[in-house]
Amino acid sequence: MTTENDRTAKAGGASFHEMWRDLAPLGRHRDSGGYRRYAWTAADADCRAWFRQQAEARGLTYEVDRNGNQWAWLGDPLAGDAVVTGSHLDSVPDGGAFDGPLGVVSSFAALDELLARGARFARPLALVNFGDEEGARFGLACVGSRLTAGQLTVEQAHRLTDADGITLPRAMEAAGHDPDALGADPERLGRIGAFVELHVEQGRALDLSGDRVGLASAIWPHGRWRFDFRGEANHAGTTRLADRRDPMLSYAETVLAARREAELAGAVATFGKISVEPNGVNAIPSLVRGWLDSRAADQPTLDQVVDGVEKAARSYAEAHGIDLDVVRESFTPVVEFDHALRDELARILGADADLRVPVLGTGAGHDAGILSASIPTAMLFVRNPTGVSHSPAEFAAEDDCVAGVLALADALEGLACK
Give the shortest CB-268-to-ligand GLV separation in angstroms.
11
| By CB under 6 A, residue 172 contacts ligand GLV | no
Q: Find out whether 305 and 262 touch, Cβ atoms under 8 Å.
A: yes
Of the candidates 13, 27, 100, 144, which one interacts with Mn ion according to CB under 5 A? 100
Going 60 to 41 to 139 to 158, the CA torsion angle's sign is negative
**Residue from 107, 111, 171 nearest 138 by CA:** 171
DSSP annotation of 175 reads: T
Of the candidates 223, 308, 365, 376, which one interacts with ligand GLV according to CB under 6 A? 365
CB of 11 or CB of 92, closer to Mn ion: 92
Q: Taking CB under 6 A as the rule, which mask of x and - marks residues 75-114 in contact with ligand GLV?
A: ----------------------------------------
Q: Find out whether 403 and 201 touch, Cβ atoms under 8 Å.
A: no
Q: Is the peptide bond before 221 cis (omega within 30 degrees of 0)?
A: no
- Residue 365's binding partner among ligand GLV, Mn ion, none (Cβ under 5 to 8 angstroms by kind) is ligand GLV
- Residue 100's binding partner among ligand GLV, Mn ion, none (Cβ under 5 to 8 angstroms by kind) is Mn ion
**Residue from 276, 236, 218 nearest 252 by CA:** 276
**Residue from 121, 132, 122 nearest 68 by CA:** 132
Residues contacting 118, CB < 8 A, separation 6+: none
Give the shortest CB-78-to-ligand GLV separation in angstroms.
32
Give the shortest CB-205-to-ligand GLV separation in angstroms.
16
| By CB under 6 A, residue 364 contacts ligand GLV | yes
Give the shortest CB-257-to-Mn ion separation in angstroms.
26
Give the shortest CB-382-to-ligand GLV separation in angstroms.
15
**Residue from 129, 146, 123 nearest 90 by CA:** 129
| Number of chain positions touching ligand GLV (CB under 6 A) | 4
CB of 284 or CB of 382, closer to Mn ion: 382
Q: Measure the CA–CA gap between 288 and 285, rounded to whole angstroms.
A: 7
Give the shortest CB-390-to-Mn ion separation in angstroms.
6
Helix (H) / strand (E) containing 336: strand 335-336
Give the shortest CB-199-to-Mn ion separation in angstroms.
6
| Number of chain positions touching Mn ion (CB under 5 A) | 2
DSSP string, 262-327: HHHHT-EEEEEEEEEES--TTEE-SEEEEEEEEE-SSHHHHHHHHHHHHHHHHHHHHHTT-EEEEE
Give the shortest CB-141-to-ligand GLV separation in angstroms.
5
**CA distances (Å), origin 369, targets 86, 222, 376:** 13, 11, 10
CB of 324 or CB of 360, closer to Mn ion: 360
Q: Find out whether 324 and 313 touch, Cβ atoms under 8 Å.
A: yes
Q: Residue 390 region, left (φ>0) first, then alpha (ψ -120 to 50), else beta?
A: left
- Residue 44's binding partner among ligand GLV, Mn ion, none (Cβ under 5 to 8 angstroms by kind) is none
CB of 99 or CB of 132, closer to Mn ion: 99
The amino acid that residue 330 corresponds to is S
For residue 161, which phi and psi values (nearest 5 degrees)? -135, 140
Give the shortest CB-177-to-ligand GLV separation in angstroms.
22
| By CB under 6 A, residue 141 contacts ligand GLV | yes
Give the shortest CB-365-to-ligand GLV separation in angstroms.
4
CB of 103 or CB of 365, closer to ligand GLV: 365
Piece of 100-108, 172-180, 377-385, 404-412 that binds Mn ion (CB under 5 A): 100-108
Piece of 6-14, 99-107, 186-194, 294-302 that binds Mn ion (CB under 5 A): 99-107
| By CB under 5 A, residue 211 contacts Mn ion | no
CB of 134 or CB of 246, closer to ligand GLV: 134
Residues contacting 193, CB < 8 A, separation 6+: 80, 81, 82, 83, 123, 375, 376
- Residue 141's binding partner among ligand GLV, Mn ion, none (Cβ under 5 to 8 angstroms by kind) is ligand GLV
Q: Find out whether 209 and 276 touch, Cβ atoms under 8 Å.
A: no
**Residue from 185, 189, 193 nearest 83 by CA:** 193
Contacts with Mn ion by CB under 5 A lie at: 99-100
Contacts with ligand GLV by CB under 6 A lie at: 134, 141, 364-365
